[in-house]
Structure 1
């Protein structure tokens, strides 16, 4: 990234034999994303377009410079942390801004409820055995499934407290796009939040099927839930908050 038109810091020498570091206004956040997926696709000089990365809303970046009508920046958090990526100058002006996430964790409380042996998924036109639970997040109340798959591999997460991590990458559209048949206004559905449990393969996400995840069944609430989660940060900067699971599932194997 040589020969950029500006950079984020410089020195000035107003006093002989001294130097003073001057920090420019270079910190930005992803303030706008694709509403459908919930992600912002950004360019890379090092990879073909098929391997370009996507950033979640409120992802923190540091502007580096402008060259060839492109604005380059360094990603400061998430899976792409440390990468030098770019947007066109016009898109940088549109999608990057100064609205920052709240520097405090948010708590999602889930309380186990009943086991429904014949829960109907309208979107899939299929019945599932759902271990249901009640979720509360910042005043939003909604229904979740804590497990749908009972093949011996997946099970409801035990009661306890777990970190909810930053979104990792856009999850396959086919997993959740089908729910628009039931709720056409479903948005941000490819954003999944990993739960720090085991190998971190469980998520807070929207849908009708849970493989030990905290799956939000209330489709119309997902947009607000997504915004509430992604707009907060934990103290270590690696997550958005905590998941507190209360009670016991009716079925756990």
Structure 2
């Protein structure tokens, strides 16, 4: 039996005998100056994939300078075997789990008024305040008023774990204009609207423009939002949900 298999205990019955197997569980942790995704190599296909911080993995073996593990929860590559170099596995797969206390972030509608965007010129923004703990953070809930997009409705929704890298949405500029201060710019958290199931295509994310999302307009506060959400998982959801989102007008 591999030395990795040693922490949590499971029992199976075979030929009327009870055998004990132990499973070593780890969680992805990333450095502060990171885009928020861990590059892994799937096995046996050798294709690249990405998993987010605090993803749960179960260790399999160390072989040929690489550490193999199974992705155990979340929204990406669940159930698949993957690997990292032994050095990176030791550094990035740690025993610290996310909090499973039920976390709630609150959004309160504010004024609907215009700002002059450095990117798009005059924009009518539906402003709001996002409260993470006791910290008020300015967000925009909609920037486009053609009828295709609307501000997020009042209610209690669920925030999901990150789904995939949103680097194509051109948020790298925020890292460039805030060097060393903004991380995980392409980590977006999907919102499951009350009464629906799964990703509504609305997200909690960094930015100055909103298409019905909860967009963290106060760029320098994005890290606070990211750190809070990524470090939580709603209990009994297999790592698919991180927090509740309470929206009021």
TM-score of the pair, normalised by structure 2 = 0.86
Spell out the pairing of 1:184-195 with structure 2 (5 A cutoff).
Answer: 184=179, 185-195=181-191
Q: State the shift of 1:140 in Å.
A: 2.0
Q: State the shift of 1:36 in Å.
A: 3.3
Q: Distance in 2 between matches of 1:36 and 1:121?
A: 27
Q: State the shift of 1:236 in Å.
A: 2.7
Q: Distance in 2 between matches of 1:217 and 1:196?
A: 21
Q: Determine which structure has more spread, i.e. the larger CA radius of gyration.
A: 1
Retained in 2: the 8 A contact 1:130–1:148? yes
Match status 1:94 vs 2:69: no
Retained in 2: the 8 A contact 1:42–1:85? yes
Q: Distance in 2 between matches of 1:21 and 1:112?
A: 54
Partner in structure 2 of residue 83 of structure 1: 80
Partner in structure 2 of residue 130 of structure 1: 125
1:13-64 alpha-carbon deviations (Å, 9 max, x no partner)? xxxx74431314x100001257331111111134454xx2111111100001
Retained in 2: the 8 A contact 1:102–1:232? yes
Match status 1:161 vs 2:159: no
Partner in structure 2 of residue 67 of structure 1: 63
Unpaired runs of 5+ residues, structure 1, are 248-253
The alignment's C-alpha RMSD in Å is: 2.4
TM-score of the pair, normalised by structure 1 = 0.85
1:149-184 alpha-carbon deviations (Å, 9 max, x no partner)? 112111011100000011111112552112345433
Spell out the pairing of 1:25-36 with structure 2 (5 A cutoff).
Answer: 26-33=24-31, 35-36=33-34
Q: Distance in 1 between matches of 2:10 and 2:93?
A: 26
Retained in 1: the 8 A contact 2:203–2:214? yes
Partner in structure 2 of residue 225 of structure 1: 225
Q: Distance in 2 between matches of 1:63 and 1:105?
A: 27
SS for the counterpart of 2:170 is helix
Partner in structure 2 of residue 106 of structure 1: 103
Structure having the higher strand fraction is: 2
Q: Distance in 2 between matches of 1:233 and 1:180?
A: 26
SS for the counterpart of 2:192 is coil
Q: Distance in 1 between matches of 2:127 and 2:102?
A: 25
SS for the counterpart of 2:30 is coil
Retained in 2: the 8 A contact 1:33–1:40? no
Partner in structure 2 of residue 250 of structure 1: none
